[in-house]
């Protein structure tokens, strides 16, 4: 039997800390953290002990390690929906960690800068010292 691959984007192994949060049915914000297992342009697999429910909307911040001694943090922000929960059950021959997969749209904070002078936006020059020269 052939397994149908549903992913449309290449996945990359990336193990970095991630913070995520979602709105519980009671209306309270739930937050937790974990580690990324892999990432693509359309989603992420997160290893975590506390998982949001399948189908819930989440927001994420992935803290990407910098290879150079840069003082500027690299954060990848995203919003999306939890599409799968991994319960962490042991399977042969390997043990799968608990966590969840989410379909996520990633964005940059700098992309929120508007050309509209009447719109209140953050200072576009705020992060210029982090850009390569």
Longest dimension (CA), the chain: 60
In 3D, which of 44, 41, 55 has the Cα closest to residue 107? 41
Domain assignment of residue 1, yes or no: no
- Taking residue 80's Cβ as centre, other Cβ atoms within 10 Å add up to 20
Q: pTM here? A: 0.72
Mean pLDDT of the chain: 79
Range of the domain at 92: 12-109
Domain assignment of residue 77, yes or no: yes
In 3D, which of 54, 64, 61, 48 has the Cα closest to residue 12? 64
Name the pairing type of β-strands 74-87 and 98-107: antiparallel
Instruction: Give phi and psi for 125, each to the nearest 5.
Output: -85, -5
How many structural domains are present in the chain? 1
Domain assignment of residue 3, yes or no: no
pLDDT in tens, 37-81: 999 999 999 999 999 999 999 999 999 877 776 667 789 999 999
58: domain CATH number? 2.30.110.10
Measured CA to CA, the distance from residue 109 to residue 130 in angstroms comes to: 13
Measured CA to CA, the distance from residue 17 to residue 34 in angstroms comes to: 6
Domain assignment of residue 127, yes or no: no
89 compared with 81, residue with greater pLDDT: 81
Domain assignment of residue 114, yes or no: no
Domain assignment of residue 43, yes or no: yes
Domain assignment of residue 132, yes or no: no
In terms of Cβ atoms closer than 10 Å to its own Cβ (0-12, 13-18, 19+), residue 46 is: buried
Domain assignment of residue 4, yes or no: no
- pLDDT at residue 114 above 60? no
């Amino acid at each position: 039997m052939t397994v149908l691959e549903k992913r449309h984007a290449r996945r990359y192994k990336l193990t970095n800390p991630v913070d995520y949060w979602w709105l519980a049915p009671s209306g309270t914000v739930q937050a937790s953290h974990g580690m990324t297992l892999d990432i693509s342009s359309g989603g992420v697999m997160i290893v975590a002990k506390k998982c949001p429910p399948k189908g819930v909307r989440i927001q994420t911040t992935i803290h990407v390690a910098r290879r150079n001694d840069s003082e500027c943090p690299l954060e990848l922000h995203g919003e999306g929906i939890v599409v799968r929960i991994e319960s962490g059950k042991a399977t042969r021959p390997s043990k799968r960690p608990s966590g969840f997969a989410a379909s996520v749209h990633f964005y940059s904070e700098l992309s929120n800068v508007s050309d509209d002078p009447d719109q209140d936006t953050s200072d576009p020059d705020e992060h210029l010292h982090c850009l390569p020269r």
